[in-house]
Amino acid sequence: MRLIAPCFLLLAAATLLGGCQSAQPTPPVRRAMVTAEPPAKTDAWLSVASDEDAERVRRLDGAWQAALAEARLAGFRREVAAERELLRPSAALPMPAPTPGSYQCRLVRLGRYTKKTRAYERFKPFFCYVEVADGQLTVVKQTGSQRPAGRLWEDEAETRMIFLGSVALGNEEQPLAYGENHGRDMAGVLERVAPFRWRLVIPWPRGQSKLDVFELTPVPEQPKTA
């Protein structure tokens, strides 16, 4: 009678016991969930602006260079210098948000839109108003045949806010909302250039110039609110 080797018996027993045990569950595979982050507050204006107007804002430096060069070449060097920080491209200061209230405003136009338009033009002062509407600052020109109005948006640059608006004409009581008529849309930046002095800069505006610069200074006696 043949004897079974002890090592073979041990191996067989181990195999039998292994078959009786239940299989161990495979641990679940954990996958990282990637969610799209909401757009930064400073990028919100890009979701509203047309591609054309966003490009205008991006080309702001080029508008400054071309407009100032044409105005100086046309013989308005002294007039440009007299405006000091208003017409100095690098004059923007931190904390650009204006205080709501009444402002005395005026417009300076630089650069030729066509060969027939002037390279430098300065207009009489008018009144405009800064207010808060739906939690957002707005700028409204109150008088004149052309009355820009629009909202201010935060920008990644700490020295400016983005302006998106449109122009009311003639006897129109209210301007169109931005985007309703692209021929009237305006896009630019609002900057603080000195204590109690702001400028609204519209690069490559449709119609008269290469650069429109609105000066805003608070009215000394603000109207009383109820």
12, pLDDT greater than 70: no
pLDDT at 76: 97
Of residues 15 and 26, the one with the higher pLDDT is 26
The mean pLDDT of 96-107, rounded to a whole number, is: 94
Average pLDDT in the 95-112 region? 95
Question: pTM of the entire structure?
Answer: 0.79
- The C-alpha atoms of residue 57 and residue 201 are separated, in whole angstroms, by 10
| Mean pLDDT value across the chain | 83
| β-pair partners for 57 | none
pLDDT over 90 (residue 100): yes
Q: Is the pLDDT of residue 108 over 70?
A: yes
Confidence tier at 222 by pLDDT (50, 70, 90): low
Report whether pLDDT(32) > 60: no
174-183's contacts with Cβ under 8 Å and 24+ in sequence apart are 175/140, 175/147, 175/148, 175/149, 175/150, 178/48, 178/150, 178/151, 179/48, 179/50, 182/50, 182/52
pLDDT tens digits, one per residue of 172-210 = 777 778 988 888 899 999 999 999 999 999 999 987 899
- Is the pLDDT confidence value at 64 over 90? yes
Neighbour tally for 171: CB within 10 Å: 6
pLDDT given at position 55: 96
What are phi and psi for residue 223, nearest 5 degrees? -65, 140
At 225 the pLDDT is: 52
Q: State residue 177's pLDDT score.
A: 87
CA dist list (Å): 21 to 15, 18, 24: 10, 5, 9
Q: Which residue has the tokens 């046309």?
A: 74
Residue 30 pLDDT > 60, yes or no?
no
Write down the pLDDT at residue 86. 98
* Least confident stretch, 36-40, 106-110, 138-142, 208-212: 36-40
Residue 20 host element (H or E): helix 6-20
